C-alpha cells in the first residue's frame, strides 16, 4: 500500500515548500508542506495544504447538506420526539 500511494520522504510534490506561517507574539515559524500542524487562529496564509484531521466518525458522513436543511431536520426530529414523549401526559 505505502509506496504506491505515498512517495517516500524527499520525493513528495512541493516537499519543503513554505505553505503558511505560524505567527505568535513570541515566535514566527514557517509551515512547510506535509507539516502536522493543523490550521488554527494564529496560522496565516493559504490553509489548503495543511492537514485537516478527521477521526473515525468521518466514516459516518453519508451525505453533505446545506446548513438550513440540517437545522430543519433537527427541528423536525426534536418536535416529533417531544410530541411522542409528552403525548401520554396530555391524556
Cell of 9: 520522504
Q: Between the CA of residue 15 and those of 32, 55, 83, 86, what are the distances in Å?
A: 7, 25, 57, 60
pLDDT in tens, 73-82: 999 999 999 9
Q: Which residue has better confidence, 91 or 46?
A: 46
Instruction: Note the pLDDT of residue 1.
Output: 46
Instruction: Note the pLDDT of residue 81.
Output: 94
Helix, strand, or coil (residue 24): strand
pLDDT in tens, 41-75: 888 888 888 888 887 788 888 899 999 999 999 99
Q: What is the CA radius of gyration of the chain?
A: 23
> How is the chain split into domains, by residue range?
2-90
> Is 39's pLDDT higher than 80?
yes
Query: Cβ distance 12 to 33 under 8 Å?
Result: yes
Average pLDDT of the residues of the chain: 85
Instruction: Note the pLDDT of residue 38.
Output: 86
How many alpha carbons lie under 13 Å from residue 88 in its C-beta half-sphere?
3
Amino acid at each position: 500500500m505505502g509506496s504506491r500511494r505515498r512517495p517516500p520522504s524527499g520525493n513528495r510534490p512541493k516537499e519543503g515548500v513554505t505553505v503558511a506561517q505560524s505567527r505568535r507574539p513570541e515566535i514566527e515559524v514557517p509551515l512547510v508542506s506535509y507539516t502536522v500542524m493543523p490550521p488554527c487562529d494564529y496560522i496565516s496564509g493559504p490553509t489548503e495544504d495543511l492537514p485537516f484531521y478527521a477521526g473515525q466518525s468521518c466514516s459516518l458522513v453519508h451525505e453533505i447538506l446545506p446548513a438550513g436543511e440540517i437545522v430543519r431536520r433537527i427541528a423536525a426530529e426534536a418536535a416529533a420526539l417531544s410530541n411522542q414523549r409528552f403525548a401520554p401526559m396530555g391524556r
